[in-house]
Amino acid sequence: VGAANGSNPISIVVPCHRVIGRNGTMTGYAGGVQRKEWLLRHEGYLLL
Name the E strands within 1-48.
none
For residue 36, count other CB atoms closer than 10 A to its CB: 22
Catalytic residue among 1, 8, 13, 16: 16
Q: What does DSSP assign to residue 27?
A: -
pLDDT at 12 over 80: no
Tens digit of pLDDT for each residue in 22-47?
Answer: 888 888 787 888 988 998 999 998 77
Please tell me the predicted confidence (pLDDT) of residue 44. 92
To the query of whether residue 16 is one of the catalytic residues in this protein, the response is yes
Gap between the Cα atoms of 22 and 27, Å rounded: 9
Going by pLDDT thresholds of 50, 70 and 90, the confidence category of residue 16 is confident
pLDDT greater than 70 at residue 11: no
Give the integer Cα–Cα distance in Å for 16 and 23: 17
